[in-house]
Structure 1
Amino acid sequence: MKGKYLAIVCLLSGGPLSAQQPVIADYLDRFDGEFATVMIARQKQLLHHSGKVLIDKLENISYYRSAVGVKHNAYGAFNDAGKIIAPFKFDDVTIRDEKDEKYPEKNYHFAITRLNGRYGAVDSEGKQLCAPVYNEIDGLSPRLIKIKRDGLWGWADMKTGKVLQSPKYEQVDNSYVRDSTVQITQDGKRGLAAEDGSIIVKPAYESFNYLGYQGSTFFGYTINGKTGIMNKAGHPITPAIYDKCSRGPSPVLFAVTSNDKTGITDAAGKLLLPLQYTRVEGVANAMKAYIGTKCGIIGGTGKEIIPVQYDDIKAFNTAGQEMYDLIISDGNQKEEAAQPYYFMVRKGALTTLFDQTGKQLLPFKYAKTALYAYHDSLYIQVTEQGKTGLLDLQGKTVLPLVYEDLLSGYNDGFSYQDDAAGKDRSDYLPVLKNGNLGLYNVRSGKEMLPPVYNRIRWHNSHILSLSSGDSASMADRSGRVIKAAKKYGFFTAVDTNRIVETQYPDNGTTLCILTDLAGNKLYTNPSWEFKEDTYSRALLPAEERNGHAQFNNGLLKIWGDPRNNVFVDEQGKEVVFENYSFVGDFRNGLALAGKDLSPEHTVYGIINRQQQVVLPVNLNDITTFQDSILMIRQADMKGLIRKDGSILLPVAYERIDKMYGQPYIKVTAKKKEGITDINGKIILPAVYDEVSYYEKAKLFKIEKAGKSGIADAKGNIVIPVLYDEMEVNRSYDNIFPLLVKEGKWFFYLDKDGKPFPYRSLKKKSYND
């Protein structure tokens, strides 16, 4: 009894728990993230997931999962491992931290303690950084702690706690104008100090100003209401004579403003462009400058690359997207800013394009000028007198200015589909004229199809179908019409030189005819019901399932024929698979085949083009399971095969279920569950009553004969199947600690299967 009493005292103190002295709790609850609710000696508390700390109340959890809690009205803190870093004796504890995965140099983590009005600091392991003797403590930078005593501020190293600057300043702040620098305030004036406390700029200024470039070696300073520019060493490069200083068109050029006029100065303080601009603003990797209502562009050398005489200027990237101010120290924006760009310049009602060096690419003669990105090519779209065309970047005409607009994809009821057009599909441009759709070949410089259609679709790299109202026709890749327009019918290219024509005669029937490109009739069948999406898809890869029917292995399936096993070859000769009542489309020389054993009973298998059996035709069903896997069924048992007919899992399971988004398959045999990988390798044998998967933890919960356990993704047993009850942590990321029951006792298990030092006869109920 004495040992139990000592354990309870230890728990109530909030200190580490001894695994040798289990505590009998009134009840235990499952974990919900970092903590679980427990009742010990009629006191409701929170148990940390480490199993080492109990608290009365949670105040805060940091980015690094350190926590601040309250125990017996005193504050303390502990880290993710359950180590006490600030004992439960303080009036307040505050975690200061930052966790930036993109910029880890910005990260820090420490705790501030307060007791009887005095502040101290400890690191994430409990090491004292600052003795509890200060009036105030806070974070200063990712490397420094600011400390205040007797109304003045200094700072200490965040890792070692060494005082780098004893308190002597009215205020200290992290500097945003110079890296690894502290802004100091003394007698109301501001200066800059290095992190070791040495002075860079004496405190004699009203403020320091960020010039627009993160990490820049220059910054602005203000004195007597006027602003100038300093370098990194703290030496002024311009006197404080300006109303405003800001970034210029490059990191070593600056915009300076006085009396509402702006000029450009260099890093030596020399005025490169006089104070003449009424406004400047960043655009792409340059600067747009205004004089009154006119604007121009100042380049990175500090010269006007586009003179200030135009009405508007916008920058665009090679995707045709407008660009704004991109010169910011950010990874993605740096990458974007490094790409080529162009200026669209407007003068009056006319526009043109300049490149990023200021070279004018076109004369001022177009009402509209824009970049036109099409597949992998970049053009200039120009409009004159309501007509549109394309020029290349040298100004040479690619598409004459005779069209109303250009089209790419779906737009206003028009449709152009070129997914099947082949490698040179970027040569073909859809154009609009007189409200109709046509096609232009930019490589030949000729109109391939006149704009008289509302739908154009490539069936393959050689043949296109054309629609105009209720009429359909077909053309080859040169634009030559190979099937004249017909009403109430359609054409489908089933090979590069074979076409199926579907007609609807006045007698209400449907007639399907196979022809060559010259129109020679090769095959017809009064029972043929050709539909371009009617074919057996089971053996096709996923990316081809939405395509239309076509010859495979030299054969085209004839659907609708009562024989159900009829194909036609490319010469129009029927190929009938006499030994089968059903044969599906061929793919890679294989097809699904079926035999009718009776009117109500058909069996299936796989055959090859030579009618040899690849998978015995004795299965009750074959269906798609995953992209490359088929499920087979024989009587009430199931298995899996690959699309080449090879066995993945034998026909030995009552159920086979996908685990969506996971590389696992759940199998059931004799009402027992197991797990295989997608290659059929057994991970967990089918001997369990139930198997559940936790994706984030990559663990399986396994249940057998009323007992539960945990297995890892390789099938190794992590927690033995011994427990009468098992509840996982409600956390999204982790299932541990587990609340388990063995016999009459409830207790917790960590990820190694080790129990926490308490147990209870009761699990928290709804009414507790």
Structure 2
Amino acid sequence: MKRILVVTALFSGIIGFSQEEEVVEIMEVEETVIESTESGNVNQYYQNNSTDIVTGEIDKTLLIFKGKNSSLYGLKDKSGKVLVKPIFNSINSYGSTKDRIRASLSYGKEGIIDPKGNIIIPFEYSSFYYNNTHNIYTTNKDGKSYLFDYYGNKLLKESYDEISIEDNYFKVKENGFYGILSADGEELLPIKYDQINYYQQENWFLITKNGVDNIIYSNGKNVFGNKFTSVSKLDYYFKFILVEKNGKFGIVDKTGNDITPISFDAVDKNYNGNFFIIKQNGKWGLYNIVFKKFLIEPSYDNVKMLSNNYYLLQSQNKKTLVDILHNKKVDFTPYDEVNNYISKNIAVVKVDGLRGAVNIDSGKLIIPTKYNYLDVNSNYIKASLPDNRLSDIYNYDGDPIYTDVSFIKSLNNNYNYSKITSKGKMGLMYKGKEIIPTEYDQIKDFDKSVFVLVKKDNKSALVSIVDGSFLIPLSADPIMVDAEKNIVSYKKKNYSIRLNKLVEIK
């Protein structure tokens, strides 16, 4: 025989509506479920059933548990007192608090209850996100977003494709366009913009419509009035603001004062400190905003900012790499591309889809353009061959250290040391220098030790990682290492390592 469990809950209606009692038919359960919702009877029942499984915790106050012989979930307090019987398909600790709990009666249908099981938000929604700063729930239903307050009241009369909370505003999206609503749901910025970003420190909105940016207040008025045709930020804190006036561009500060003349064809949004890439009379150059003049005259078809004060200048078929810090120029015309990031005075270049490396001081190609990828590490350069299975290792001078490397691993998380596997044999490299040649079958390292155990042709040796010298030469006799005690056992004697020497323990 089956019975219907009926839960009486107080449901809070939408803003402006009175509260009403709602009787919800939860589910059919087996005869053993106690019908009474009085806590005394519930506790008495569960005192005799100790097989409940605790599966989670909420705010270190509530316990989520699975009922006896059941896949359903309920709530207990820390003393074990049952607060809500196991009638829910799931109870989610994420996004729940001790007073408001996410629960579901069926897959994909969530609601919010309190610790007594009263329904705060009905079980009609797909998911909930709780904003604990504003005590607001964001949720979804049938592809639309909704907002509820802490008491289960809907905050907005309408639903939208997307809703996000921006400080004291709601950003909404509908039919691909964005707008801003007040906390009361009043439309402040109409839903007509391609993008809206809010910046709390200034209480400004950066809006985009048909590819044109502007900065406005919440009342829709322009921050700079009608002074400029378009306005867009160049940095997060609005230290530099790119403006357009009468078809010309320039840079102003947040008060609208000129940093550069508003007389240029274009201003690149990527800048380095006080240096801006600016176009004048159809050509690009590099402009210093402190001295208000061009450091590199605008005579190039393209100027590209790389890293560490390096710029690539292009004019017709000629390419020039410029180091503005040291006033140095290098001809890069032979190369199709240059990587943006330059490290260790080395530029990675590409020719016909393959990469090599150029030393900027000498201007010479030090690693041939035959690799699929080059990684300039802190101690060496790893050059991956086109099949991506093997690599060659170079130092910063372009001298090959290892070839046909199949595996590289740091030694005990010390990135200055690298175990190298090449052509089936192992060796050890320190800061881009070989200290143990790749001729061993195995190299075993030990935590915080200054030596490694190497094996070759069924023989073992103990090798210093300080200078690569043998502490114990290759031998068929076993070598036992107790790294924690710094003890090495060999030929029935015990040794310790001191100052890179093997010292017998008497």
Cα drift, residue 309 of structure 1: 3.1
Q: 1:18 to 1:286 in 2, by over 3 A?
A: farther
Distance 1:94 1:471 in 2: 63
Cα drift, residue 280 of structure 1: 3.7
Structure 2: gaps spanning 5 or more residues: 11-22, 27-36, 58-63, 369-375, 381-393, 402-417, 444-448, 497-501
1:47 to 70, 74, 84: 74
SS of match in other structure, 1:285 = coil
Are 2:326 and 1:291 equivalent residues in the alignment? no
Asked if the contact 2:188–2:220 (Cα under 8 Å) also holds between the matched residues in 1, the reply is no
Asked if the contact 1:192–1:203 (Cα under 8 Å) also holds between the matched residues in 2, the reply is no
Are 2:265 and 1:242 equivalent residues in the alignment? yes
1:122 match: 149
Distance 1:382 1:118 in 2: 58
Distance 2:321 2:152 in 1: 60
Are 2:474 and 1:532 equivalent residues in the alignment? no
Distance 1:6 1:473 in 2: 76
SS of match in other structure, 1:217 = coil
Counterpart amino acid of residue 138 in structure 1: I
Are 2:136 and 1:110 equivalent residues in the alignment? yes
Are 2:277 and 1:255 equivalent residues in the alignment? yes
Asked if the contact 1:46–1:57 (Cα under 8 Å) also holds between the matched residues in 2, the reply is yes
2:379 match: 373
SS of match in other structure, 1:22 = helix
**1:340-489 alignment, distance < 5 Å:** 341-344=344-347, 353-354=359-360, 360=361, 363=362, 367-368=366-367, 373=379, 380-382=396-398, 409-412=420-423, 416=427
Asked if the contact 1:119–1:133 (Cα under 8 Å) also holds between the matched residues in 2, the reply is no
Asked if the contact 2:440–2:455 (Cα under 8 Å) also holds between the matched residues in 1, the reply is yes
Distance 1:31 1:83 in 2: 18
Q: 1:221 to 1:178 in 2, by over 3 A?
A: farther
Cα drift, residue 306 of structure 1: 3.0
Are 2:88 and 1:77 equivalent residues in the alignment? no
Counterpart amino acid of residue 298 in structure 2: L
Q: State the structure with bigger RCO (CA 8 A, min sep 6), 1 or 2.
A: 1
Q: Deviations over 1:552-600 (max 9, x none)?
A: 269xxxxxxxxxxxxxxx9xxxxxxxxxxxxxxx9977xxxxxxxxxxx
Distance 1:8 1:542 in 2: 64
SS of match in other structure, 2:285 = strand
Structure 1: gaps spanning 5 or more residues: 100-106, 316-321, 327-339, 355-359, 389-406, 419-424, 432-436, 438-452, 482-491, 503-529, 555-569, 571-585, 590-768
Cα drift, residue 279 of structure 1: 3.2
Cα drift, residue 170 of structure 1: 1.2
Q: 1:268 to 1:31 in 2, by over 3 A?
A: same
**1:90-109 alignment, distance < 5 Å:** 95-96=128-129
SS of match in other structure, 2:422 = coil
Cα drift, residue 411 of structure 1: 3.2
2:494 match: 552
Q: Deviations over 1:650-686 (max 9, x none)?
A: xxxxxxxxxxxxxxxxxxxxxxxxxxxxxxxxxxxxx
Distance 2:206 2:378 in 1: 53
Asked if the contact 2:359–2:365 (Cα under 8 Å) also holds between the matched residues in 1, the reply is no
2:166 to 141, 145, 152: 141
Cα drift, residue 307 of structure 1: 2.4
Kindly tell me the number of residue pairs found equivalent between the two proteins. 397
SS of match in other structure, 2:8 = helix
2:331 to 285, 309, 327: 309
Q: 1:473 to 1:197 in 2, by over 3 A?
A: closer
Q: 1:174 to 1:287 in 2, by over 3 A?
A: farther
Q: 1:222 to 1:203 in 2, by over 3 A?
A: same
Greater C-alpha radius of gyration: 1
Cα drift, residue 367 of structure 1: 4.6
Counterpart amino acid of residue 242 in structure 1: D
1:614 match: none
Cα drift, residue 87 of structure 1: 1.9
Distance 1:96 1:176 in 2: 20
Cα drift, residue 531 of structure 1: 1.2
Asked if the contact 1:191–1:205 (Cα under 8 Å) also holds between the matched residues in 2, the reply is no
Distance 1:38 1:472 in 2: 60
Cα drift, residue 313 of structure 1: 8.9
Asked if the contact 1:153–1:166 (Cα under 8 Å) also holds between the matched residues in 2, the reply is no
Asked if the contact 2:112–2:121 (Cα under 8 Å) also holds between the matched residues in 1, the reply is yes
Cα drift, residue 29 of structure 1: 6.8
Counterpart amino acid of residue 111 in structure 1: Y
Distance 1:295 1:547 in 2: 62
SS of match in other structure, 2:379 = strand
Q: 1:295 to 1:408 in 2, by over 3 A?
A: farther
Distance 1:190 1:465 in 2: 64
Distance 1:109 1:287 in 2: 49
Q: 1:323 to 1:133 in 2, by over 3 A?
A: same
Distance 1:70 1:471 in 2: 65
Distance 1:44 1:416 in 2: 56
Q: Deviations over 1:142-197 (max 9, x none)?
A: 5543489xx995444xxxx5x6x953321486527886644276999864346799
Asked if the contact 1:221–1:240 (Cα under 8 Å) also holds between the matched residues in 2, the reply is no
1:265 match: 287
SS of match in other structure, 1:200 = coil
Asked if the contact 1:242–1:257 (Cα under 8 Å) also holds between the matched residues in 2, the reply is yes
1:647 match: none
SS of match in other structure, 1:381 = coil
Asked if the contact 1:229–1:239 (Cα under 8 Å) also holds between the matched residues in 2, the reply is yes
Cα drift, residue 121 of structure 1: 3.7
2:298 to 275, 281, 290: 275
Cα drift, residue 294 of structure 1: 1.1
1:218 match: 240
Cα drift, residue 77 of structure 1: 2.3
Asked if the contact 1:112–1:138 (Cα under 8 Å) also holds between the matched residues in 2, the reply is yes
Are 2:254 and 1:232 equivalent residues in the alignment? yes
Asked if the contact 2:366–2:397 (Cα under 8 Å) also holds between the matched residues in 1, the reply is no
Distance 1:288 1:153 in 2: 40
**1:704-715 alignment, distance < 5 Å:** none
Cα drift, residue 208 of structure 1: 5.4
Distance 1:70 1:465 in 2: 60
Counterpart amino acid of residue 8 in structure 2: V
